[in-house]
Every structure is written in C-alpha cells, then in structure tokens.
Amino acid sequence: MEEIVAYVRAGRGVAYLPVPITATIAPTAVTFVPVADIPPGQLVLAWDADRPPQHISGLVSAARSQSEDTGPTSSAAL
C-alpha cells in the first residue's frame, strides 16, 4: 500500500483504499477523502485447475466460508 500512496504523493494518480488502510498510512501531501455510495469490492482467488494451491488451503477455506455467508458465488472462483 505504501507504494500506491507514493505514486499518489508524486502526482502520478489516485487510488481507492479501504478505510482501515488510510488509518495506518498518514503521509504528508496526501489527502484521504471518504467516498460514499460505492459498492464493496470483491476479492477473487484463482489458480491453475491442474495445480491446486496446497500452501494456501486455509485461506481458500476461509474465503469459501465467507462467500457462503455473503451470498452466491461461483465455486470455480474460489
């Protein structure tokens, strides 16, 4: 995140950041402006079907559990 904020500070762009991130990053010359009425973002996990990600199985399980709590998703995306 610091790199993204550095680009903004250098005048090379803008970025949408989650509020918890803005609370931990407080660089000079950057102003964080709340944006209302935008939908929450989505996180998608993807991998080669022939090579399942054994090293992140806990993360995949947590993502599947969360997606079941928040509504329908494609199981192929998780």
Q: How many domains does the chain have?
A: 2
Range of the domain at 34: 1-38
Residue-by-residue DSSP string for 41-75: P-------TTS--GGGHHHHHHHHHHHHHH----G
pLDDT 10s digits, 13-37: 888 888 777 777 766 678 888 888 8
pLDDT 10s digits, 55-78: 888 888 888 887 766 554 433 333
> Same domain for 50 and 27?
no
> Same domain for 78 and 59?
yes
Specify whether the CB–CB gap between 35 and 18 falls below 8 A: no
pLDDT at 3 > cutoff 50: yes
Specify whether the CB–CB gap between 78 and 63 falls below 8 A: yes
